[in-house]
Structures are given as C-alpha cells and as structure tokens.
Amino acid sequence: MNCELQNILDKTASDCRKMTRNGKQATYIPELAKTDPGLFSLSATTVDGATFSAGDSGALFSMQSIAKIISLSFSLEMFGYDYVFARVGMEPCSEPFNSIMKLEMTSSIPLNPFINSGAIVIAGIMAERFGRGAIDHLLEFAWKMAGRKRRLCVNERVFMSENSTADRNRALAYFMHSIGTLSAVDKSLILYFKLCSIYADTNDLSVMGGTLANAGLNPITGERVLSRETACTVTGLMSVCGLYDESGEFAVKVGVPAKSGVSGGIICAVPGKMGLAVFSPLLDAGGNSVAGMETLSRLSREIKLRGM
Ligand code: GLN
C-alpha cells in the first residue's frame, strides 16, 4: 500500500502541477503575491505514521485560514465546548469568508469559527486569557500537532503585510465590538494576523491532518495532542464549512473534512485513515486553490478516501 500510495501521489502531482496556470493569486495581502505561483506540493501522513510527499515538498507558506483549525482545537481543549460555542456558532455560511452581511443580518455571534469573524472571536478568547503570550501557546500546540523537529514560527513579513492591509478584518472586528461580541479589538486582530502568518509546509500540515484523523493522537510522535471529542468537533466543522461557500462543491467532489487558506494550501483529515495537504497558490473565486481542489478530487477517487 505504501509504495502504491507514493506512486499515486507522484502521478497526481505531475498531472495537477500543469494546472498551476489557472486561477489568481491572493493579492489583498501584498506579501502573498510574492510567492512563486508555479509551486506545487502534496503530502500524506497515514494514521500508522508513514509520510509521503511529492512535488516541491519543503516549500514553506503561511497557513492563513488553515491555522483556524489550530486556534479552534486549542480553545476547545482549554475552555471547553460550551464556552467556545456560546461565542461562535457551528453552521455553514453561504457568503465569502470575510463577509460582514450574515453577521449583521442573522445573529450577534459569527456563524462558525472558520469564517474570519468567527476566527477573530476565537483569537479574542485567547487574547483575553493569555495576553501577549497567546501566540506562543498556539505555536507550541501547532508544533505538537505537526510533530516535526523544526519548530513552527510566525513569518513577520506576512504578519506586517496583513496588519497593514486589514481594513476588512478591522471592519468585522469593530462591528462585533459595537454589538458586544468582541471586547479587545486590537489584541484580537494582532493575534489573528499572527496565527494566519504561521509558516509551514505540506509535510507539517499532513501530520496535523493525521493527528485529527487519528482522533487527536499524533501518528508520528504517538502523543495525545487533543481529545477525541475535540478531533470530532473540529473535523465535523471542517466537513460543513472548511471551504467557505465552496464547502458543498468540495463535499461532492472530495467528501472528506478539509480546510483551505488564501495562500493556496488545503489540509484534509480523513478519519481513521490519513492526513493530506496540498499547496498551489493560484485560487478560484471562492479563495480556494484551483490545482489543490483538483488534486484532492482525483485522490478521493484514486484512493477511495470516502471508503467506497
Ligand atoms: N488572513 C486571511 C484574511 O484574514 C485569511 C483568509 C483565508 O485564508 N481565507 O483574510
């Protein structure tokens, strides 16, 4: 199986790399526009701890919204389910990830922790409790999920770039402050931008996905990083809102819990089987990697990720 899986990854990577001319890079965070658009990498980590990679593995990129998995998992572990879900909802959103509309029209709390408003609220919970030390807790937790020797860190250039061009996120945060949903606007935003700027490669992310797929037990180190309940909650949310307003299409084409980010990464946690991660910077209109979506939809069929 292992040799076969490596062959499938190699073949899929060489086919899908050709698609790295389709789509558009995210430019609203200027630093992201500097990434080589032709980069492509793909990694898998099975729940029994075998890892495989193809393409430009080792290419580092900022996690962007994929990091919302880390802050949600850590908050659930620290504060518990009831506390977290009193502050954010758990329903899918049919609007873009940075939309303010649903927040104003439907409820006083964000629809879920994976849209920007929800992730800013989660960052707010952490900033309230840990102050400036919050990012160190998140980095430590991310490193345990990734189970690699190299520590994960924030890319300062991406952070500065986000922080200086964040009108939309500031608008969301100030709106939530005005309705009593968010207390410390600046501290929450700074932590949120740092979180999005954590640098990782697809190897790191596939182990993180593997940890979720393995019910919270890191498949490489054997360490319990999060509880089975947290892994179930996070993967459940990934299934319904991991790819924003393209979550439905992704469920049909790929059919496994996943989370995307605007730098071009997508992480998957295939329960009981493996973690997968793909990176290719050009995006479709929903902010999801074009080649990444195609790669995962092919792999879903090739290795029967849905179990049938
Ligand atoms: N940092 C990005 C933002 O706040 C994250 C969005 C994303 O990856 N979808 O807009």
Q: What is the pLDDT of residues 244-265, one digit of tens each?
A: 889 999 999 999 999 999 999 9
Provide the pLDDT for residue 166.
93
Type of residue numbered 40? F
Provide the pLDDT for residue 240.
95
Question: Which tokens in the block code for residue 227?
Answer: 């509880």
- Does the Cβ of 65 fall within 6 Å of ligand 1? yes
70 compared with 151, residue with greater pLDDT: 70
On the question of pLDDT at 296 being above 80, the answer is: yes
**Burial class (CB within 10 angstroms; exposed 0-12, middle 13-18, buried 19+) of 149:** exposed
Within a domain: residue 140?
A: yes
CB neighbourhood size of 104 (10 A)? 11
Provide the pLDDT for residue 98.
83
CATH number for 230: 3.40.710.10
| CA 265 – CA 257 distance, rounded (Å) | 14
Confidence of residue 93 (pLDDT cuts 50, 70, 90): confident
For ligand 1, mutation pick of 196, 243, 259, 289 (most atoms within 8 Å of CB): 196
Within a domain: residue 110?
A: yes
Do the beta carbons of residue 201 and residue 146 sit within 8 Å? no
User: 48 CA distance to ligand 1 centroid (A)?
Assistant: 32
Share of the chain above pLDDT 70, in %: 99
Do the beta carbons of residue 71 and residue 241 sit within 8 Å? no
User: 47 CA distance to ligand 1 centroid (A)?
Assistant: 29
Q: What is the pLDDT of residues 115-150, one digit of tens each?
A: 999 999 999 999 999 999 999 999 999 999 999 888
User: Which atom of ligand 1 is nearest to 98's Cα?
Assistant: 10
On the question of pLDDT at 2 being above 80, the answer is: no
| CA 35 – CA 51 distance, rounded (Å) | 25
Within a domain: residue 308?
A: no
Rounded to 10 degrees, what is the CA torsion of 6, 54, 277, 57?
Answer: 140
Mean pLDDT of the chain: 95
For ligand 1, mutation pick of 98, 157, 260 (most atoms within 8 Å of CB): 98
Do the beta carbons of residue 77 and residue 85 sit within 8 Å? no
- Does the Cβ of 98 fall within 6 Å of ligand 1? yes
User: 24 CA distance to ligand 1 centroid (A)?
Assistant: 15
| CA 34 – CA 283 distance, rounded (Å) | 14
User: 66 CA distance to ligand 1 centroid (A)?
Assistant: 9
- Does the Cβ of 117 fall within 6 Å of ligand 1? no
Q: Answer yes or no: 47 catalytic.
A: no
User: 87 CA distance to ligand 1 centroid (A)?
Assistant: 20
On the question of pLDDT at 1 being above 70, the answer is: no
Within a domain: residue 307?
A: no
206 lies in which domain range? 2-302
For ligand 1, mutation pick of 162, 198, 244 (most atoms within 8 Å of CB): 162
| CA 179 – CA 281 distance, rounded (Å) | 36
Mean pLDDT for 161-166 is: 96
Q: Answer yes or no: 144 catalytic.
A: no
On the question of pLDDT at 3 being above 90, the answer is: no
| CA 286 – CA 95 distance, rounded (Å) | 9
- The catalytic position among 65, 188, 289, 297 is 65
Within a domain: residue 67?
A: yes
- The catalytic position among 47, 121, 144, 192 is 192
Q: Enter the pTM of the model.
A: 0.96
User: 292 CA distance to ligand 1 centroid (A)?
Assistant: 17
> For the chain, how many structural domains are there in total?
1
From 120, 71, 75, 68, select the one nearest 244 (Cα to Cα): 68
Q: Answer yes or no: 244 catalytic.
A: yes
- The catalytic position among 68, 187, 194, 259 is 68
Q: Answer yes or no: 192 catalytic.
A: yes
Q: Answer yes or no: 254 catalytic.
A: no
The dihedral sign for the CA sequence 44, 45, 46, 47:
negative
Q: Which residues pair with 55 in a beta bridge?
A: 41
Q: What is the pLDDT of residues 199-209, one digit of tens each?
A: 999 999 999 99
